[in-house]
Amino acid sequence: MRKDGKSYNEIHVALNVPRATLSDWFSKIDWSKEMAKRLAIQAQIQHTARIIGLDKIRGEHLTRAYEEARSEAREDLEVLKYNPLFIAGLMLYWGEGDKATKGQVRLANTDPKLIQLFVFFLKNVCNIPVEKIGISILTYPDIDDKTNRQYWSEISGIAPERFLKSILIQGRHKTRRLGRGVCSVYVSSTYFKVKMLEWLTLLPEELMNLRYYESIGR
């Protein structure tokens, strides 16, 4: 089944063999590693297409789609769990991201490098199209909005046209303020949010399992 191009999830469903066991069996075999890379590329293309098209799905089909998102997240994890950018992106979101809002993946911070890295993670690991990534800025009335938006645009790589209208705040202290305000990166997709939350549930369990470290470099 593996040589025929079946994923761990497909083999698990058909034969009830745990994914961790399949990973142990095949992680040392070169042709299986190449198969995993090809399957990951195909899966990411399909998953991106689902994220883009999900707005058209409603009702019971939506519930089924979200279960597919969790299944995809479990399958993706087998390929991505050793990727440092994947781990870094999830840890950033775990610490700084919004976990409560249902329909949006959103991370806010003042650190330009952190914002830059999270956008890089969205585009290069999650394969989120740049036109699906938005930016909003929390800023002060005396900061030139156009200049500030251009600054965060250059940092994030997102065109100013993708920015929401800036939110102005007065600030409690006249001098102790954030020089560039707070930048929020967001992707409006409940489907993607379901995947992110599933990854946040699964990855810490992997990282606290000694078998994870024993399998590195096999």
121-168 tens-digit pLDDT: 999 999 898 989 999 999 888 788 899 999 999 999 999 988 999 998
Q: pTM of the entire structure?
A: 0.73
Which amino acid is present at 65?
A: A
pLDDT at 187: 94
For the chain, which ranges sit under pLDDT 70? Answer: 37, 39-63, 171-178, 217-218
Contact 137, 215 (CB under 8 A): no
Instruction: Evaluate whether 185 touches 156 at the Cβ level (below 8 Å).
Output: yes
pLDDT at position 120, please? Answer: 97
